[in-house]
């Protein structure tokens, strides 16, 4: 198949992510797409503790707040059309109940702060260099939450502004967690509302800033994964986009995942993935006849597979799958007795 596209060469960083590694992924939709795949395969990954974030300044702020163990109060929220929001968070943290919104935010903050402190890898995905500044405070917001456009000032960051912010941030992160390796990427999803030219200028700004950071810090603990370039070159076809022609398709996500996994995952984890995926797919399977002996054999087989995997890889979290098959088996046996 390689003869039909220009393959993007990915540097061999000498990094190995395995199932015992702890990861935090933050930023744009790339983190959701790849992070969900890693979660499904039982990697220890924390995804977007503030929800999806697009611009580098909001992303940097979120990491600083985690390091500072920020606890949100009612003063940090605002109400709009009956819903309470945080300008630091995606709308998935919003709620019509102020206390519920605060509890959800602070619960996630505590969990993610602890996870970041012990993480081996931090994967940061930047989506756009455009920012929205709340006029009345000068604050850069992570999400406008559908407030009137007149409330905000729209600006494009320069590479220098991003570099200045991240030089200090990276040093703070390494002081907070000295073993942390940081992998940058630029989201391949286009921000078409910015305009075609503006979107390209935005992506170029991010790429220039990241290159300067990696050049400055070196690639031992700071590197780049070319997800943007893979879509632009290897998948240069609208067949690899969703119906909106802006987001990428499931097929494109699978291709990026394959490239990511083949370059950054350990050989052992690549083998574990195959076995875990079989169990996960079996858990997702919806059988037509749950009263047959074939279904009992199916349940016993998968429980045996889980136990064998845990015998060799006790660090895998297959508790949900094991509990599911045990409950199904108990239900089958109870029906058989009757």
Q: How would DSSP label each residue in 162-228?
A: HHHHHHHHHHHHHHH-TT-EEEEEE-----GGG-HHHHHHHHHHHHHHHHHHHHHH-SSSEEE--HH
The pLDDT score that the predictor gives to residue 238 is 65
What's the pLDDT score for residue 155? 95
pLDDT digits (tens, 9 = 90+) for 183-238: 999 998 887 777 888 989 999 999 999 999 999 999 899 999 999 999 888 887 76
Handedness of CA 140, 144, 145, 151 (dihedral sign): positive
Q: What is the chain's mean pLDDT, rounded?
A: 93
Asked if 189 contacts 247 with a C-beta cutoff of 8 angstroms, the reply is: yes
Q: Judge whether residue 132 has pLDDT over 90.
A: yes
For residue 333, pLDDT beyond 90: no
CATH 3.40.50.1110 correct for 2-265: yes
Per-residue pLDDT tens digits for 231-287: 888 887 767 767 776 667 888 888 999 999 999 999 999 999 999 999 999 999 888
What 8-state DSSP symbol labels residue 150? G
Give the mean pLDDT of 8-17: 92
pLDDT in tens, 92-110: 999 999 999 999 999 999 9
Instruction: pLDDT band for 4, please (50, 70, 90 cuts).
Output: low
Asked whether residue 22 carries a pLDDT value surpassing 70, the answer given is: yes
Using alpha carbons, list the distances in angstroms from residue 309 to 3, 18, 280: 38, 15, 13
Question: CB-based burial of residue 178 (10 Å sphere; 0-12 exposed, 13-18 middle, 19+ buried)?
Answer: exposed
Query: What percentage of the chain reaches a pLDDT higher than 90?
Result: 79
Residue 24 has pLDDT above 60, yes or no: yes
Q: What is the pLDDT of residue 251?
A: 86
Helix (H, G, I), strand (E, B) or coil at 158: coil
| Segment among 31-35, 250-254, 281-285, 313-317 with least mean pLDDT | 250-254
Whole-angstrom Cα distance, residue 161 to residue 182? 19
Q: Is residue 1 predicted with pLDDT exceeding 80?
A: no
Tokens describing residue 205: 């700004």
Asked if 128 and 54 touch (Cβ cutoff 8 Å), the reply is yes
More confident residue, 113 or 1: 113
Beta bridge partners of 124: 26, 184
Residue with tokens 């977007």: 48
Q: Where are the domains of the chain?
A: 2-265, 274-337
Tell me what the mean pLDDT of segment 139-152 comes to: 96
Whether 2 has a pLDDT exceeding 60, the answer reads no
């Amino acid at each position: 198949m390689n003869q039909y596209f220009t393959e993007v060469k990915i540097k061999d960083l000498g990094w190995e992510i395995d199932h015992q590694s702890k990861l935090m992924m933050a930023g744009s939709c790339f983190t959701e797409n790849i992070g969900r795949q890693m979660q499904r395969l039982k990697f220890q990954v924390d995804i977007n503790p503030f929800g999806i974030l697009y611009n580098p300044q909001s992303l940097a702020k979120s990491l600083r707040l985690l390091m500072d163990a920020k606890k949100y109060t009612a003063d940090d929220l605002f109400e709009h059309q009956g819903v309470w929001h945080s300008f630091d968070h995606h709308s998935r943290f919003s709620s019509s109940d102020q206390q519920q919104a605060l509890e959800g935010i602070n619960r996630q903050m505590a969990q993610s702060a602890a996870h970041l402190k012990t993480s081996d890898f931090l994967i940061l995905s930047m989506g756009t260099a455009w920012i929205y500044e709340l006029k009345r405070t000068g604050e850069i917001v992570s999400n406008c939450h559908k407030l009137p456009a007149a409330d905000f000032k729209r600006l494009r960051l320069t590479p220098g502004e991003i570099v200045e912010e991240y030089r200090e941030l990276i040093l703070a992160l390494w002081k907070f967690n000295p073993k942390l390796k940081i992998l940058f990427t630029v989201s391949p999803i286009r921000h078409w509302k910015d305009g075609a030219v503006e979107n390209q200028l935005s992506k170029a700004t991010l790429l220039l800033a990241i290159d300067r950071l990696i050049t400055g810090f070196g690639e031992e603990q700071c590197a780049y994964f070319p997800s943007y370039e893979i879509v632009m070159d290897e998948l240069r076809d609208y067949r690899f986009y969703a119906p909106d022609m802006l987001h990428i398709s499931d097929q494109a996500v699978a291709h990026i995942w394959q490239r990511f996994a083949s370059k950054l995952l350990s050989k052992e984890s690549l083998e574990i993935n195959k076995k875990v995926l079989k169990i996960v797919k079996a858990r997702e399977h919806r059988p037509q006849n749950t009263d047959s002996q074939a279904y009992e054999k199916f349940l016993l087989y998968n429980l045996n597979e889980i136990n064998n995997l845990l015998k060799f890889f006790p660090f895998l979290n297959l508790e949900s799958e094991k509990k599911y098959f045990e409950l199904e088996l108990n239900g089958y046996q109870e029906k058989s007795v009757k």
